[in-house]
Chain A
Amino acid sequence: MTDVLNIPAEPTTENYLNRQFTVRSWLLTQDHKRIGILYMVTITFFFLIGGVAATLMRLQLLTPKGLLVGPDMYNRLFTMHGIMMIFFFLLPSIPSTIGNFVIPLMLGARDLAFPKLNLLSYYLYLAGGTLALVSLILGGVDTGWTFYTPYSSTFSNEWVALTLVGIFLNGFSSILTGLNFMVTTHTMRCPGLTWFRLPLFIWSLYATSLMMVIATPVVAITLLLVALERIFHVHGIFDPALGGDPILFQNLFWFYSHPAVYIMVLPAMGVISEIIPCFSRKQVFGYHAVAFSSISIAVIGFLVWGHHMFVTGQSIYGGMAFSFLSFLVAIPSAVKVFNWTATLYKGSIALDTPMLYALGFIGLFTIGGLTGLFLACLGMDMHVHDTYFVIAHFHYIMVGGTVLAYLGAVHFWWPKMTGRMYPEWWGRFSALIIFLGFNLTFFPQFLLGYLGMPRRYFAYAPEFQVLNVMSTAGASIMGIGYFLPLCYLLWSLRWGKPAGNNPYNATGLEWQTPSPPPVDNFEQTPVVTHEPYCYHLMEMPRA
């Protein structure tokens, strides 16, 4: 591996940022790095909208009677929170921003296989987001992000069809991104970069693109059918009036939506598999185990969707089959957590901000994953299904897992993206605030769940109030925690210390090119000779 000394590149050399400054060069760019930045700006905007909805919901739930907004408004709030956060923040968060930026760099390629398709994916995503926003402004949608028929198809008289078309476009953006990553990983690896020398981030994004490509079309056709049913006022195939079955909608919807939750968490695991070895300066423990567990999560993830429908009148034997497979899919995640923890053993651990986020991820993802066992178990799900237990479970994985990993990834590759370092102590402080705020918000919800408080209630029974007040308090702390990185990262763009090519002495091809990298990523295509994460071979900087 060519050892590039850690001299910061002079800012005057031409790189992908200062090559052109025109708006047109940004809006019509085919450079995967710029498209990654465009995605990052857009998903931050949609994250703020989802965050505003979440804040209003938490304020509403301060009192049992819920006096802030009426029932209709609350239904629109939680639907907006769900749609904005899942479809327009979590799904593209790590694959489209970090993935777009880092994959060609990690593979030693000049760009993704289909740059024009990459730009098309961004504009499909933007169009989908705008449509969802327009339907929000015109009146909002009150069906929940799951759009269960027959409510979404016949009884909800809100802007459902418009939102469904928005999500349909967003689905295509996800398909094309997945397709792009898959073909790039197969055909454009630099010489010497065999499959088992690939960084684990590439493995997990490969598994994610498999799910994106295979699962998204099924929800595309399902939502299209509901949208057509609403537009043409005809009885669709999920309508009981024609003998159709609303549960069939749930079958087709969850066949996508469960792999979708793995599309959201697998890239986060990939990021953690990059950060943990770098900051404990040690090769990842059980490289093959972690790589194959990514693939097996992707494949078994397609067999478990029935655990969302245990209580819908699904057959008992169907329930048992899905419950068994849901326990099976928990094993690879457990293997990953054990391997990360084993990587720390006998390492030399530095608690920089990305490492704090990564360790936070392992802790919270473990709780999230283990509470998933409660929901996969038939006897338990019949009590806690559709209660705040489910809300706490998936927030532990989505917020405690994916969002922490996303923030860790943004901090980890920020020097590579912008050539600037973020202020270290501010980073550590905000990571701690988020961790504390998060636990105070969502742990009480496990108790609420077992007490039986149903989800999507704008008003609740008085005995649940104390736990809800604790949860709202936690939400405000977490809100502040999220606001801090936005500030000091923007601040670092102008006043941050210039970061060299490899500020953390990490292995990986992306750290061998200057930061911010030139337009074609590498002067000459690198050649890989060692296995990944070979920290034991790297010569360390003087004291």
Chain B
Amino acid sequence: MHNGIPLFPPEASNFAPRVDALFFFLVAVTGFFTLLIFALIVTFIIRFRRRRPDERPEKTHSHMALELAWSVIPLGIAMVIFVWGAVLFYQSRTPPPNAETVAVIAKQWMWKIQHQDGHREINELHIPVGLPIVLEMTSQDVIHDFSVPAFRLKQDVVPGAYTHEWFIPTQIGQYHLFCDQYCGTGHALMTGTIYVMSKEDYQQWLGGAPAELTPRAAGEKLFTNYGCIACHSTRAPSLAGVFGSQVAVTIDGSPAVVRADEAYIRESILDPGAKIVKGYPNIMPSFRGQLSEEQIMDLMAYIKSLSGAAEVPNYSGPSGSTTQPEQTPPPMGDVPSFPNRVNP
């Protein structure tokens, strides 16, 4: 990685070559116009330098055709660049359904990474080459940014929201991981390394590293330790099959129907009073401040398993994890259905 003055980051993901192609096209276009302007200025300075103090050039006549030319042509070039960039951006923001999810929790000045099979890492990410990976990221405090220059990708990690970033590593090696959004004192220390390994090395690494509980098992343990099992078997709504279903709730006194997605489950853990399931009193205590970000993700994995939903949330469609039907009025009687519009 460190051979003399590097002028180009390694191309290590499926997006890298495409971003580099766009980069070379842009450099060519901007280089041409910069040299054109420099050349014109230099020639005009020399050819039309002031030879006598009382020299007086004649009146300039404006040419509407020329004005139009140098507005429309740059606009045309700009549109080409815009479309090329927009298509590339669209691809980078629509993960394929078969991508393997890796949970990333950004905390002030460290990255905590959780694989689906239970492996947990700090500031390091071991991934096999050639397999699409989706990072489901959230932050516990301020805004961070998971940036891997070698993959030509970055995505802000916003507190209070799940953001996603996907890529297919194509070249084996170790690459820098930077935090690109200023987050305080240790912003510059919040770096890490992405280890892209061949399939065999990856299996070998899996075997070697101490495998802790899978998120599902860890979630089940939490479910019992924190006493959720006590209510959620009898007095509180049973959670079997709840993930992905339509739940009738009252939000601040108004009836509504909400789709139980990740945001709903998470909010019900942290802020139970926001949406109260119809027919049940608002007595669930809030777990804000007691559960960390990883523990919520483990509980989420467990609750999903209760309803047999695939552990990997399906990322079909452009809008991230679970898209919703449009705003058609609800089929169910007078109760206005909120597909997911009203989740906090």
Give the residues in chain A near B204, CB-CB below 8 Å: none
Q: Does A450 contact B (CB under 8 A)?
A: yes
Q: Cβ of B81 and Cβ of A344 under 8 Å apart?
A: no
* A348–B70 CB distance below 8 A: no
In the bound complex, residues from chain A placing their C-beta under 8 Å from that of B48 are 280, 344-349
> A312 vs B142: C-alpha distance in the bound complex, in angstroms?
13
Judge whether B33 and A370 touch: CB under 8 Å. yes
Query: In whole angstroms, what is the CA distance A380 to B34 when docked?
Result: 19
Stretch with Cβ within 8 A of B (4 or more), from A163-171, A255-263, A462-470, A494-502: A462-470
Contact present for B57 and A282 (CB under 8 Å): yes
List the B side residues contacting A286 at CB < 8 Å. Answer: 62-63, 66-67
Known: A379-B87, A463-B2. A447 touches B7 (CB 8 A): yes
Q: How far is the CB of A326 from chain B (nearest CB, A)?
A: 9
How many residues of chain B are within 8 Å of chain A by beta carbon?
Answer: 91
Q: CB within 8 Å of A: which of B2-42? A: 2, 5-9, 18-19, 22-23, 26, 29-30, 33-34, 37-38, 40-41
Which residues on B sit within 8 Å (CB–CB) of A377?
A: 22, 26, 81-82, 84-85
Q: Say whether A452 contacts B147, CB under 8 Å.
A: yes
User: In whole angstroms, what is the CA distance A383 to B19 when docked?
Assistant: 8
Q: Which residues of B contact A51 (CB under 8 A)?
A: none
Please indicate the chain A residues that have their CB under 8 angstroms from the CB of B179 in the complex: 454
* Shortest CB distance B190–A (Å): 10
CB contacts (< 8 Å) of A538 on chain B: these are 56
Contact of A323 among B86, B159, B178 (CB under 8 A): B86
Residues of A with C-beta under 8 A to B81 = 327, 373, 377
- Asked if A320 CB lies within 8 Å of chain B CBs, one says yes
Give the CA-CA distance A466 to B185 in the complex, in Å: 25
- Chain A residues closer than 8 Å to B56, beta-carbon distance: 281, 348, 535-536, 538, 540
Question: Across the interface, do A246 and B143 meet the contact criterion of CB distance under 8 Å?
Answer: yes
Counting chain B CB atoms within 10 Å of each CB, the highest count among A71, A377, A386 belongs to A377
A382 in complex: contacting residue of B1, B62, B71, B92, CB < 8 Å? B92
Tell me which residues from 436 to 457 in chain A have a Cβ below 8 Å from any Cβ of chain B.
447, 450-452, 454-457
Q: Does the CB pair A379–B54 fall under 8 Å?
A: no
Is there a chain A Cβ closer than 8 Å to B59's Cβ? Answer: yes
Tell me whether A273 is interfacial, beta carbon within 8 Å.
no
List the A residue with the shortest CB-CB distance to B7: A447
A142 engages B184 (CB within 8 Å)? yes
- Shortest C-beta distance, A496 to chain B (Å), equals 21
The contact string, 1 if C-beta is below 8 Å from chain B, for chain A 311-342, is 11101100110011001101100110111011
Interface size, chain A (Cβ < 8 Å): 100
A30 within 8 A of B: no
Q: List 6 A-B contacts (CB under 8 A).
A: A282-B60, A310-B89, A346-B48, A379-B84, A382-B19, A386-B147
Give 8 new A-B contacts, CB below 8 A, not counting A247-B158, A451-B6, A452-B147. Answer: A283-B60, A285-B60, A285-B62, A316-B89, A350-B50, A380-B26, A451-B9, A462-B2
Which residues of A line the B interface, CB within 8 A?
A: 66, 71-72, 75, 142-144, 148, 150-151, 155-156, 240, 243, 245-247, 280-289, 310-313, 315-316, 319-320, 323-324, 327-328, 330-331, 334-335, 337-339, 341-351, 359, 362-363, 366-367, 370-371, 373-374, 376-383, 385-387, 447, 450-452, 454-463, 466-467, 535-536, 538, 540-543
- Which residues on B are within 8 Å of A, measured CB to CB? 1-2, 5-9, 18-19, 22-23, 26, 29-30, 33-34, 37-38, 40-41, 44-45, 48-60, 62-63, 66-67, 70-71, 74-75, 78-79, 81-82, 84-90, 92-93, 108, 141-143, 145, 147, 149-150, 152-156, 158-161, 163, 176, 178-189, 191, 318-319, 344
